[in-house]
Structure 1
C-alpha cells in the first residue's frame, strides 16, 4: 500500500492529532498536488478555479450542475418551482442540514432561509453589515448584474425562499450553481460580529460541505477532514490535503514518489512517460475553455481598433499552438469554445499577416511601432500550459512589426485581480466555463457591467451594440433566438477585437492507481466528494 512521504506525510498526519505517530495510511488521506494558492476562501469573494476547488469541498449551493445528466439538480434546495413568466423562483430547502463547527464556534441550529438571505444580501446591499468585510469586491455577483436582476429575496418560511427577478433571465438557475452563490451561515456571521472579529468569517470558513476545512498555510497546504454530518452522507475519504505545488515537474515527481495521489496540468512533454508508468493513470477530456490575450482599451494605443487588429494579425497562433499544445489544442477564433451551443463557426478569423499588421499600425500613426507591457500567467492552467513561453513567442512576433514588449507577471493569487483592475496593457489569461450557458463567457468576460475596475471584462471594452445583444439573449428562453443573438455578438466581437483568442485545449489529470471513483469535471474543477482510495 502506498504511503505518503516527506513534508506531505507530516502535514497529513497532523490531522490525526498532536499525539499521533508521523505515519498515515493513503487509504484514509488523499493528497492532491494542487497548482497554486487560492485567491480567497470566501465564496462571495473568490475568483479563480484554484479557489473554487478549495471552497466547493467546504460549501454547498442551492443547486448544482450534474456532469452525468448535464443538468441542474437539487443540492441544498431539494426542489423548486418557476413562475410561468420566468421571474419568480421558489426554493424548498432540505430540512436538518448541518453546518461545520470550529474550535471557537458551535452552531446552535441547522440551515434556514435566513442563511440564504444573508449569503445574497451581503453581496447585494451596500448597507449590509458584512458588505464591506473582506474588501466588498463581489465580482461574480456584479459581473452577472445580479443587483439589477434581483427585485427581491424573501423568506416565505424557515425552509422556503422566494427569488423575484425584475425580468426573465435564462441563465439564472445555472448561475445559482456557481461558487459565488454558495450558502454561508448567518449565525456564524452574527457571532463573529458580536465578538468584534467579523474578518474571521471569511478566513475561518464554516459551511455545510462534505469536507470541513481545518487549516490553510499559504504556499504549503490546505487540510480538510470528512464532515460526518453532511446532508448527502459522509464522503468515503477520511481526510483531504491540498499540497500546493506550482511546478508541474515537481508535482509529477511527488506523484511518482507517492507523496500525492492526484495532480492536474502535467507538462505535455511528460505525457508519454505518464502513459508508460504502470502506477499512474492519465485522464483527458476536451476542455470547455479558451486562452486569450486581452487588450486593455483604457491604455493607449489599445483604444484604437486598428492597433488591436494589427496586433492580432502579427501573432502567429498556429505556430504557438503547435509548439505549446501539439495535438492537445486547437487555435481559437471566438470567445466561446467550439463545444458551446452558441458557438458561431461561420466567423472568419483575423489572419496571420505581419505585412498587413505593419500597414495597419502605420495607418494608426505607429509606423515605427511602440513599447508595451505583455503580462503572462505565472502558473500552468488547463487552457495555457506554458504562459511564459507563450509570452516569449508572442513578443518575438510583435517585434517583427516594431512592437517592443516588456514581459510582466505576478503571483497567481493576485495576477488575475490585477488584470481585473486594469493594471496591464496586454494581458494573457483564459477562462473555463462555470456552467454550460454561453452567457457565462460572453456576459461575464465582455459586458459593459464587467468593464468596471475589478470586473471580469479585463479588456475594459464596452460596446453598447454588443451589450444590447447579449442582454437580449439573457431575457429569452427560446434557444434558437438565443443562438442567433450569440452568433451576432461574436460577429461584433471579431470586428472590434477586444482580445485575441489564442487556443482551446484538452485537459489532463494524473492519478495514482489506488485512486478510485475520480471523474473529470467539465468545468475544470477538481472535486473529491465521491473519491476513495483502494484499501
Structure 2
C-alpha cells in the first residue's frame, strides 16, 4: 500500500540525515547532542514526552464509492465515507436512529408542526477554513431543491433523488413540503413547511443532507463529487478509483480531542473472503461484509473481534413491472411462490438473517405482522403461470450485483439459487453481470427484468423504504421496479404528512397489504450484517445504517 511505502521511505531518509549530521566535518560538539539523546530516551521510556505513534486505520470494504457528493447518490459505499467528512444539522445516536444534536445544538417545533427553528453551533469551520453559518445551510438545501440553482449542476448530470423522496419533490412541485427557508441570523435558521411531515427531524439527521462548504461549491463546481469539503472529523486527501480513499484528521474539528485517528484509508477488496484474509494477515484493521459462515471462527480467534449490526435492511428480488410478462400480477405472484427464501437464509446467512415477508424489518414502526408470506409452493406457482397464459414457461434475464452488500453478502449464490428455483416452474433465467456503478445506473433506467438488490435504512423511518423504493414519484430513481399504484402512493403520502405516529403506523400497515397483493418483488431476507476488526481497534460501534462514525475510534498499541 502506498502509505506504507511512503512511511518507510520517510524513516530511511530520516536515518540517513542523522548519519550525515553526526559524520560532518564542521567540528560540531557531539557531547551535548548525546546527552540530549539520552535524556530524550529516558523521557520516552517514561512516556512523558514521547510522541504517539501515528494512528492509521485501514477500513476494507466491498466496493468503491460512486460519488462523494453525498446528496447525489444513495449507495452505502459512498455514505460510509461521506459520513466522516460531512455533518448534518442533526445526527443519530451511535447505535440507533434516535435523533441527537449535530451542527444544530438545539431546535424548536411550532405547535402546528409547520415551523422548525434550528440554533446552530458557533465557531465551526469547514475544512477549507470557510465559516459555517445559516447561509451555508440555506445554500445547500436550495441547491438540492432547485434544479436550476447554480450549484445544482443539472447540466452535468447531477440529481438529488433522495431529497425529492424525503421532502416530497423539488421547488415548484405541488408535493414539495419546504415552503421557505429563512436565515434569522448567522446562527439561527428557520424551515417553514407547507404541511406537517412526521419524519422531518429524522430526515434532517440523514447524512444525505449534510452541509458542504459554499466556497468549495464555487471553486470545484461539478467536480465537487471528487473534492468533498465538510465540517466533519476527517478531511479528504485523495481518491484512487476502485482502490482507496484517504482521509486525514481535521485538526480544527469542533469536538474537543476528536478525532482520535490521524488517518483513515478506505480500501476496496471486493470479495468478503479476501477481506478476511487481509484482516488476518494484518494488511487491514477493520472490514465490513463478513460472510456469516466465518462468524464463528472470528469469534473464537485471538486477536479479532466480531461486530453485529442491528436488523435494518431488506434484500430482495426486484421485478421491472413494465417488462412483459412481469406486468402481470399473476406472474409476479407465481415467482414469489417459486422462490424459496428460507433455503437462501439457511444456506448463506448462518443464523444472521430471517426470511422477509414485508419490505421493512420487523422492528420498524407499522410493521404488519398479520401478513403471511408467500409459501414456497411450486405447484401453486405453475397454476398461476398457466392462468396467466404462460403454462409453457418463458425466458428472461436476471441481473446480479457484482459486490457483496450488507443485506446480501453472496449475491452470486443467491442468483444461482433463484435461477434453480425458477427453472423448477419453467422460467429460464440468464444471469447478467455489470460493474457496480453501471449496475445502479442501468437498473435505475429500467434496462433489467429481474434483478437482485436491497436497501438499508438511513433514518429509522418506514417512509425511507416505502417512499424510496415503491412510490411512483421515485420511478427513475430508487424505484427500479417501475411500480406505481395510486392507492399505495396516496397512503404513503398520507403517512408522510401525519405527525400522529400511531396513525402513521396504521397507514403503513395498509400499504403492506396492497404491496403483498401486487407483489412488485420478492422480499427475500432481513440480515444482521457483520463486521470484524483487529482487537487493537477500540471505540468502533457499528451503526445499523452501515455508515459508521469513526471519530472516537483509535488503535491500542
TM-score (ref. length: structure 2)? 0.88
| Aligned position for 2:287 | 263
| Aligned position for 1:104 | none
1:287 touches 1:382 (CA, 8 Å); kept in 2? no
1:434 touches 1:440 (CA, 8 Å); kept in 2? yes
Match of 2:490 among 465, 468, 484: 468
2-side partners of 1:26 and 1:383: how far apart? 37
CA 1:19–1:154 in 2, change beyond 3 Å: closer, same or farther?
farther
| Aligned position for 2:110 | 83
What secondary structure, in the 3-state scheme, does the structure 2 residue paired with 1:161 have? strand
1:94-243 equivalent positions in 2, closer than 5 A:
94-101=121-128, 107=129, 109-132=130-153, 134-144=156-166, 145-147=168-170, 148-190=176-218, 192=219, 198-233=221-256, 234-243=258-267
| Aligned position for 1:64 | 91
2-side partners of 1:494 and 1:315: how far apart? 15
Q: How far is the alpha carbon of 1:76 from its aligned partner? A: 0.8
| Aligned position for 1:423 | 447
* Structure 1 stretches of at least 4 aligned residues deviating more than 4 Å after TM superposition: 11-14, 16-21, 24-27
| Aligned position for 1:458 | 480
| Aligned position for 1:365 | 389
| Aligned position for 2:27 | none
Instruction: Establish whether residue 492 from structure 1 lines up as the match of residue 504 from structure 2.
Output: no
Name whichever of 475-484 and 498-507 sits farther off: 475-484
Q: How far is the alpha carbon of 1:355 from its aligned partner? A: 1.3
CA 1:17–1:527 in 2, change beyond 3 Å: closer, same or farther?
farther
2-side partners of 1:490 and 1:140: how far apart? 22
Q: How far is the alpha carbon of 1:236 from its aligned partner? A: 0.6
Q: How far is the alpha carbon of 1:70 from its aligned partner? A: 4.7
1:143 touches 1:456 (CA, 8 Å); kept in 2? no
1:13 touches 1:20 (CA, 8 Å); kept in 2? no
User: Could you report, residue by residue, the CA deviation over 1:155-201 in whole angstroms, capped at 9, with x for unpaired residues?
Assistant: 122222111111100111111111221101112223x2xxxx52232
1:236-255 equivalent positions in 2, closer than 5 A:
236-255=260-279
2-side partners of 1:12 and 1:413: how far apart? 33
Instruction: Establish whether residue 527 from structure 1 lines up as the match of residue 549 from structure 2.
Output: yes
2:115 touches 2:193 (CA, 8 Å); kept in 1? yes
Larger radius of gyration: 2
User: Could you report, residue by residue, the CA deviation over 1:276-302 in whole angstroms, capped at 9, with x for unpaired residues?
Assistant: 320101122442111111111111111
| Aligned position for 1:35 | 62
User: Could you report, residue by residue, the CA deviation over 1:212-269 in whole angstroms, capped at 9, with x for unpaired residues?
Assistant: 1100001211111100111123301111111111111211111111111100111223
Q: How far is the alpha carbon of 1:358 from its aligned partner? A: 1.2
2-side partners of 1:486 and 1:18: how far apart? 63
Consecutive unaligned residues in structure 2, runs of 5 or more: 16-50, 171-175
Match of 2:4 among 9, 32, 52: 9
1:58 touches 1:209 (CA, 8 Å); kept in 2? yes
User: Could you report, residue by residue, the CA deviation over 1:57-114 in whole angstroms, capped at 9, with x for unpaired residues?
Assistant: 111101011145752111111211111111111112111111113xxxxx4x411222
1:93 touches 1:112 (CA, 8 Å); kept in 2? yes
Match of 1:290 among 314, 318, 321: 314
2:153 touches 2:221 (CA, 8 Å); kept in 1? no
2-side partners of 1:485 and 1:170: how far apart? 12
Q: How far is the alpha carbon of 1:11 from its aligned partner? A: 7.0
2:309 touches 2:543 (CA, 8 Å); kept in 1? no
What secondary structure, in the 3-state scheme, does the structure 1 residue paired with 2:70 have? coil
2-side partners of 1:533 and 1:482: how far apart? 44
TM-score (ref. length: structure 1)? 0.92
1-side partners of 2:307 and 2:543: how far apart? 11
Instruction: Name the count of aligned residue pairs.
Output: 514
2-side partners of 1:282 and 1:438: how far apart? 28
Q: How far is the alpha carbon of 1:428 from its aligned partner? A: 0.7
Consecutive unaligned residues in structure 1, runs of 5 or more: 1-5, 102-106
| Aligned position for 2:120 | 93
1:9 touches 1:259 (CA, 8 Å); kept in 2? no
1-side partners of 2:519 and 2:528: how far apart? 25
